[in-house]
């Protein structure tokens, strides 16, 4: 099941219901902060006519499957005001509340991981903590979230050596991986030159603004987004577990401003068009590249499904 985590994790399959096309960067499949699903969840809520307080506690087998001394725990607490359209909450996750370290969802060379642990790690223990807010002011919707993932990991020396020799890492990333012989060619490096123990923080925040304009032909919703992310361990090559975004930057940091428009002729139909710029430092220079996206989505209601089935 999808874990309760922030404003978007449970909604990404309901494309017509939210503004924008792409998810916030922490839920981008190329650099997820954690797995989107969990195996067991205890959740509930307390409510009255003015407010709702909900809670959730989750656990699973861990990103790399069942392992001894690994006990993952996730949590979500949120408050929703029914009188002034406000949601405030906090989500978090620990890859293990015991001493064990987990491994990646993929092996090196199988692409980007489906969780927070990179494939060149022999073990990683990390904790994600963040807060989020959603506020409706008239026709204006404001959404924002901030998250920090603190990693305490051990690199696999053989895997990192393969990354250096085959994944075309830049000079900044190469220097971060090595503890000696940085002046040697890649072919002359050995596993003894690899820095194995590493601690780092992955951070992200975003602000999303959308304004609803109702008309006789449907809803028009122009929107502006700003995403920021710092991932100092990322590399560019997706084949080797990179993301081609944070890993493209010298320091693992990029900005992503976006602007777009949603047209909803019906509540369950959405046509979306947007553009964005990725801005980062590359080879010591500030560079940017654009993207343009178009999306059409349709959500089936229960009545429509029943009619299609002949019930």
Name the pLDDT band for 303 (thresholds 50, 70, 90). Answer: low
Q: Distance between CA atoms of 169 and 236, rounded to whole angstroms? A: 7
pLDDT band (50, 70, 90) for residue 309: very low
One domain, residues 92 and 231: yes
How many Cα atoms occupy the beta-carbon half-sphere of 147 within 13 Å? 29
Residue 8 domain-assigned (yes or no): no
Scanning the chain, the segments in alpha helix (DSSP H) are 157-166, 171-177, 302-309
Q: Sorting pLDDT into bands at 50, 70 and 90, what band is 89?
A: very high
Residues 201 and 70 both lie in one domain = yes
Q: What is the pTM of this model?
A: 0.91
- Average pLDDT for 140-166: 97
Classify residue 237 by its DSSP letter: -
Do 216 and 247 reside in the same domain of the chain?
A: yes
Say how far apart CA 285 and CA 254 lie, in whole Å: 13
Task: Identify whether 9 is part of a domain.
Answer: no
State the SS3 of 133-159: EEEEECCEEEEEEEEEEEEEEEECHHH
Instruction: Report yes or no on 164 lying in a domain.
Output: yes
Q: Which residue has the tokens 């429509």?
A: 304
Instruction: Identify the weakest region by mean pLDDT among 119-128, 148-157, 302-311.
Output: 302-311
Same domain, 58 and 187: no
Q: What mean pLDDT is predicted for residues 140-161? A: 97
pLDDT at 241 over 90: yes
Q: Is 206 part of a structural domain of the chain?
A: yes
CA atoms within 13 A on the CB side of 168: 6
Cα 228 to Cα 4, 88, 127, 275: the distances in Å are 22, 21, 19, 16
What is the pLDDT, as a whole number, of residue 298? 87
Q: How many domains does the structure of the chain reveal?
A: 2
Contact 43, 62 (CB under 8 A): no
Q: Indicate whether 114 pLDDT > 90.
A: yes
Measured over the CA atoms of residue 148, residue 199, residue 94 and residue 234, the dihedral's sign is positive
Indicate if the pLDDT at residue 304 is higher than 60.
no
- Domain shared by 211 and 100, yes or no: yes
Residue with tokens 């839920």: 27
Kindly report, residue by residue over 184-240, the tens digit of the pLDDT.
999 999 999 999 999 999 999 999 999 999 999 999 999 999 999 999 999 999 999
Contact 38, 59 (CB under 8 A): yes
CATH number at residue 293: 2.40.160.10
Q: Which two tokens stand for residue 288?
A: 């940017």
**Banded pLDDT at 164 (limits 50, 70, 90):** very high
180 lies in the same domain as 99:
no
Q: Are residues 252 and 120 in the same domain?
A: yes
What percent of the chain lies above the pLDDT cut of 70? Answer: 96
Looking at the structure, do residues 286 and 163 belong to the same domain, yes or no? no
Q: What's the chain's length in residues?
A: 311
User: How far is 194 from 178, CA to CA, in rounded Å?
Assistant: 5
In a domain, 75, yes or no: yes
pLDDT tops 70 at residue 299: yes
CA nearest 141: which of 7, 298, 292, 25?
A: 7
The answer to whether 245 touches 228, Cβ cutoff 8 Å, is no
Domain that holds residue 305: 15-154+197-309
Q: Interior CA angle at 232 toward 229 and 233, to 5°?
A: 120
Q: Note the pLDDT of residue 152.
A: 97
Do both 126 and 207 map to the same domain?
yes
Whether the predicted pLDDT of 310 surpasses 80? no
Q: Where are the beta strands (DSSP E) in the chain?
A: 40-47, 51-59, 73-81, 86-94, 121-137, 140-155, 197-211, 213-215, 218-230, 253-266, 269-282, 285-298
Return d(Cα 133, Cα 11) in angstroms, integer.
16
Residue 187 belongs to a domain: yes
Judge if 140 and 176 occupy the same domain: no
Contact between residue 245 and residue 278 where contact means Cβ atoms under 8 Å apart: yes
In a domain, 2, yes or no: no
240 lies in some domain: yes
Q: How far is CA 298 from the centre of its chain?
A: 24
3-state class of 194 per DSSP? strand
Same domain, residue pair 254 and 165: no
pLDDT tens digits along 10-54: 999 888 888 999 999 999 999 999 999 999 999 999 999 999 999
Average pLDDT, the chain: 93
pLDDT at 305 over 70: no
């Amino acid at each position: 099941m999808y874990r309760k985590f922030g404003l978007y994790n449970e909604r990404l399959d309901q494309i017509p219901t939210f503004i924008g096309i792409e998810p916030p960067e922490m839920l981008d499949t190329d650099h997820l902060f954690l797995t989107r699903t969990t195996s067991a969840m205890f959740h509930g809520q307390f409510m009255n006519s003015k407010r709702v307080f909900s809670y959730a506690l989750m656990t699973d087998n861990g990103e790399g499957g069942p392992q001894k001394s690994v006990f993952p725990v996730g949590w979500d607490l949120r408050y929703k005001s029914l009188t002034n359209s406000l949601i405030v909450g906090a989500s978090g996750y620990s890859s293990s509340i015991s001493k064990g370290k987990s491994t990646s969802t993929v092996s090196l060379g199988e692409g980007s991981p489906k969780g927070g642990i990179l494939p060149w790690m022999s073990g990683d223990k990390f904790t994600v903590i963040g807060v989020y807010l959603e506020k409706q002011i008239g026709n204006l919707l404001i959404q924002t979230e901030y998250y920090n993932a603190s990693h305490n990991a051990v690199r696999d020396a053989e895997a990192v050596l393969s990354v250096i020799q085959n994944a075309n890492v830049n000079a900044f990333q190469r220097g971060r991986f090595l503890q000696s012989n940085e002046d040697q060619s890649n072919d002359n490096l050995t596993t003894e030159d690899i820095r194995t123990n590493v601690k780092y923080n992955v951070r992200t925040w975003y602000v999303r603004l959308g304004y609803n304009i109702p008309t006789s032909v449907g809803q028009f919703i122009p929107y502006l987004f700003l995403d920021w992310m710092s991932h100092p361990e990322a590399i560019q090559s997706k084949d080797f577990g990179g993301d081609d975004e944070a890993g493209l930057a010298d320091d693992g940091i990029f900005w992503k401003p976006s602007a777009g428009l949603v047209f909803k002729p019906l509540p369950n139909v959405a046509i979306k068009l947007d553009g964005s710029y990725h801005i980062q430092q590359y080879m010591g220079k500030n560079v940017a590249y654009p993207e343009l996206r178009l999306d059409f989505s349709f959500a089936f209601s229960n009545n429509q499904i029943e009619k299609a089935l002949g019930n």
